[in-house]
Amino acid sequence: MDLIFKATLGAAVVVILAMLAKTKNYYIAGLVPLFPTFALIAHYIVGKGRSLDDLKTTIVFGMWSIIPYFVYLATLYVMVDRMRLEASLAVAAVAWLMAATVLVTVWVRLQA
């Protein structure tokens, strides 16, 4: 049942994005992915299954995770003028992956 709920939330977000993209306020579609749907789920699971300190660590790491998302957006902003949309999205996703890898690597070293 828990998995069905999570899948339904994800599907709802996709439907909302598709509807917003067709409105005169299409740019709001860029805000919807930032609604903390998955963060709420993750924080609930960590908060119920682990200590308060572990939850707070997860929250702080989440704050730092904004950096890879910013790298993705900045890369996409630059690349859409230079490449096809699909290629730009792929390059931006790789940039996110690289930034996320650096973040996790630094985080693990600092937490050790």
State the sign of the Cα–Cα–Cα–Cα dihedral 79, 82, 85, 87: negative
Task: Mark out the alpha helices in the chain (DSSP H runs).
Answer: 2-21, 37-49, 52-64, 66-79, 85-111
Q: Which two tokens stand for residue 105?
A: 């690597």
pLDDT tens per residue, the chain (112 residues)? 778 988 898 898 889 889 989 999 898 888 877 888 789 989 999 999 999 999 999 999 999 999 999 999 999 999 999 999 999 999 999 999 999 999 999 999 998 7
